[in-house]
Structure 1
Amino acid sequence: MGTTSSHGSDSPWIVSVRDLARGAGIQRLLNAEWPAPAGVATPLLGIPEGAPVELELRLESVHEGVLVTGTADAELEGECSRCLTPLREGITVDLQELYLTDPSVEDDGEQPLVERETVDLEPMFRDAVVPALPFRPLCRPDCQGLCPDCGIRLEDAPAGHAHERVDPRWAALAAFAGSEKTSTPETEER
């Protein structure tokens, strides 16, 4: 496996494909563990920057360029969207991307390119992981969340945990009724 800084970076996610340029049908297997790039996350769950990502890839020379297929395994960290309990779980995503050697083959400019005999695998990895992450991760499907009044985890709350709620429309009347109870007969005569 050769990495290069031809894209202006020493990132291991930039891989040399010079050996695949000899013709269609040549392939290379790549098993590696690289640090996760920054920003592979949603607001509540993601892969921490620098965490290990295990990759099993096949890089294959095809007529249009280099086809990369395989899987990536990593550990997610975050918190439950209902009760804020810390979460740690594994994720495996399938990876597949065609890197073009001739940009004129695709008119839309969306397809990544083989640049200076290298391919940048980071965008492919990010595009596979982020959509696979749940937008609202849960510690358990039946998580009860937090008490809206005091913030305690409802699963940790004692049996019968409740708060008296006064409808704000009646709050002034409740305050008035409370002052009536505290008044004395001598106060009322004055």
Structure 2
Amino acid sequence: MPRTLVPDMSTQRIPGSRPARPDDNPWVVSTRELARRPGTQRTVTRTVPAPSGDEAIGLVGVISVPDGSDVELDVSLESVTEGVYVSGTAAARLEGECSRCLDPLSDDVVVGFGELFAYPDSVTEETTDADEIPRLVDERVDLLQTVRDALVTDLPMAPLCTQDCPGLCEGCGERWADLAPDHGHERLDPRWAALRERLPSTE
């Protein structure tokens, strides 16, 4: 069956009507225009603010998308028999700190995603748990969890400013990259530490 493309009506104006208003939650996209016609598609491109708190995207305290920063969404929604298949990309700016030297770091990332949102009362909805496959609610899909899952899966658990970052000196906590090649610290056997404190200083 040939696919029918439906334009994003959230940015179009119908003569004699008020401008269409986007949903209060910019991460939520309407699927009403698809009308449960398999093969019908809708494309959506929008910029949304990154959430904060418990909904933050990334590994908070390690590397994540800063609160309120722009996330660029380029999404295709296709009506299928059991629901709406949502696919596309999300582009965002990441900020965090190097796991070795603790210096701040930043990076741009683009992740792809694809997920089926099941129709209410569909076979898929009846035979799967909600945490397995998301559902359409009031003919809308919420993209936040889908994008968050795709991005977190793509993130390094221990981000580095450079692959060969030497980290910090265990003795003084300074960055090895800033220290002289002959930098070092005297290591005294702890068994002799008490005796050394009793001996008179030779300095």
TM-score normalised per structure 1: 0.85
* Contact persistence 2:36–2:80 (CA under 8 A): no
Decide which of 49, 55, 72 is 2:73's aligned counterpart. Answer: 55
Decide which of 153, 158, 164 is 1:136's aligned counterpart. Answer: 158
Residue identity matched to 1:72: A
Decide which of 147, 155, 161 is 1:125's aligned counterpart. Answer: 147
For structure 1, the 5+ residue unaligned runs are: 5-9, 183-190
Decide which of 79, 98, 102 is 1:84's aligned counterpart. Answer: 102
Alignment partners' CA distance in 1, 2:153 and 2:187: 40
Residue identity matched to 2:159: P
Which position in structure 2 is the counterpart of 1:107? 128
Q: CA deviation at 1:41?
A: 1.9
For structure 2, the 5+ residue unaligned runs are: 1-7, 11-21
Which position in structure 2 is the counterpart of 1:116? 138
Decide which of 26, 33, 37 is 2:47's aligned counterpart. Answer: 33
Q: CA deviation at 1:55?
A: 1.4
Of the two, which has the highest radius of gyration? 1
TM-score normalised per structure 2: 0.80
Which position in structure 2 is the counterpart of 1:97? 115
* Number of aligned residues: 175
Identity %: 47
Alignment partners' CA distance in 1, 2:137 and 2:119: 8
Alignment partners' CA distance in 2, 1:107 and 1:70: 24
* Contact persistence 1:95–1:125 (CA under 8 A): yes
Decide which of 64, 80, 87 is 1:69's aligned counterpart. Answer: 87
Alignment partners' CA distance in 1, 2:144 and 2:161: 29
Alignment partners' CA distance in 2, 1:11 and 1:102: 21
* Contact persistence 1:26–1:60 (CA under 8 A): yes
Alignment partners' CA distance in 1, 2:30 and 2:195: 76
